[in-house]
Structure 1
Amino acid sequence: MSRERRLTAGAVAVLLVALLGVAVGPGVLADPTADGPVRPGHVSIAESPAIAPGEVDGATATLTLHTRIGHRGNPTDNVSVRYRAYDAESGLLTTERTVELDELTGDRSVPVNATIEVPREGGYVIETVVFRDGQVVDRDRTRVSGLEALGTEVRFTESEAVPPLSVSVASVDEEANRTTLAVAASLTNGGAESSEELRVEVIVRQAESNLVAARDSTTVSDIGPGRTADATTEVTVPSEYNYYVDAAVYRDGVLVDTARSVANLDPTETISPNETTREVEFEVGDFEGGGDGADDRATEAARATETSTGAPGFGPALAVVALLGAALLARRRTRQ
């Protein structure tokens, strides 16, 4: 048999075997991709997280995160979104939350919402990571700050007509060299709800030395939406000095706002709230003993004692006696 005939016979045999296989098992030559694995669609972050404050207490704040995840192509499952909050200063991980998504289909974006709880202080970097089949496919970072001010819209009043701090002289005790100042802090609620209880602390510092001369605190609550109220307190300080008057508003121990004013009790010079300090002479004893004058009287008594007994030499009378004694002694020696 020639070579051509052998090749033709072989091809016919192969064809017959293939036809026989199709007849016996119709699925043998089926499309291998019909029931095989399908490549998942494309997944990414369509919108960076929008961050809104939720519940707030004295120590923590709840942040609500709104994100949209985009998808196109074949149906995709096993997709998750992980949120992590890192401290903005230290970079340490504070908390995290993972959300599992249902199967994504079609060319569209789907919303993903989650809440995380963080300490109510400083700022944070919110990291959003999208996983598909355990592999990272997209990530985003968003920064949030000012959490210490969450939970209240009360601030010191900012108005040309109404100063945030008003300082006036309530009384003067000339004998004790003490002046009592009345400090009124004007607070405005810019929120939509009445305020909770707030603490207003007043600290009075002597201008040149920055020594704390007096401090006091008071509370104020139930300031209605858009309303303004005063928190008033009194402090007693040594007279004839100038002072910086600082006030701070706290909510649950968290600093919310600050303000500064001055009290000019020195008749020879004045200061302004934004003026730098200067070096001048002052009596430290005026700022001891809580302003009751007892230490001042003790200081004066000590000065009087020092004047009468603490001199390094003799007084005038003792000097005359000494001279007379020396003269008599010399005369006696001459006679001898």
Structure 2
Amino acid sequence: MTLEINGIVAGYGGEPVLHGIDLAVGVGELVAVLGASGSGKTTLLRVVAGLHRPDAGTVHLGGDDVTGLAPERRRVGLVPQEGALFAHLTVARNIGFGLVPPGLARLRRPAGARASARARVEEMLELVGLTDKADRMPHQLSGGERRRVALARALAPRPQVVLLDEPFSALDSGLREQVRGEVVEALRAAGGTAVLITHDRREALSVSDRVAVLHAGRLEQTAEPRELYAGPATARVAGFVGDAALLPATAAGDRVRTVLGPALRRPGVTPDGSVLAVLRPEQLRITDADGPEGRPGTVERVEFVGDALLVTAQPDGGPAVRVRAEPGAGWRAGDRCRLYTDGPVHVVPVP
């Protein structure tokens, strides 16, 4: 099911938090909304879920305008940050909670409806790999298992769209990657259309089909992860989605010149003249001080990150840059070196 957000303006007490948000999510697509705290991510999620009425704009699901519909009529599944499982219900009953009517209507359901609900719960248990834990209570599960139960509960009523509100933020880094992979795999298997709210750039880039960068209530850029990383539209996006040195540069035609020397310019729409060159650590090279290429400089700091060294070095007459070097390289603070770029350089307008 498609999701279309058009011109959404929303806020609290007359102060807008979102300023004209436009975003489209295709059938079966996973789009990550990436932004820092206070950027408006949660407000956007609440508008889509029907928990917050926008001041202007519309929300369409499958072509139908649902802006004025109550949350329970939208068929939107929500996976909150903490999972929010019912502590007094088993895993199976948590998953099946949204499949049964409340109160006395639950007791009056025909046998066929009850059997259908049980089959759907079993299907969801298998999907998230928790068939053997159907009778466990939430406190008997690991953090990752609770996240999978929350996803299964959101998927059980067959929602049109699933919204995930930073569901992995409370997990430690190792477990976060594992659970994230399991949850995304389950979403893909279910063919769900999904929106992931996150402040973690690695998370956004690694699991989504497209990433929408939100800043101060405005969408700055929406693109596929590789394009967003390689071709950010602004200096702010460049720094937010990855480590980057932003060097003053002059662009002319297919060439760009920085303090590190001339280089090919990555194709783009930025006009000629004064620009900023976006240099990722993997685009830079560092060699011995007597090497034939590059600009002389001095190593300021070296960080060992397991599979590489991150070397911070300052070219003579320019700002410091970070270079990704081989883990066995012997660079030390104070070493003289030479620095140069490798491959086409992307440029953005000067703010």
Query: Same fold by TM-score, threshold 0.5 exceeded?
Result: no
More helix by share: 2
Q: TM-score category by the smaller chain?
A: under 0.3
Q: Greater strand share, 1 or 2?
A: 1
TM-score (norm 1): 0.23
Give the number of the structure whose alpha-carbon radius of gyration is greater: 1
Higher relative contact order (CA 8 A, sep 6+): 2
TM-score, normalising length: structure 2? 0.22
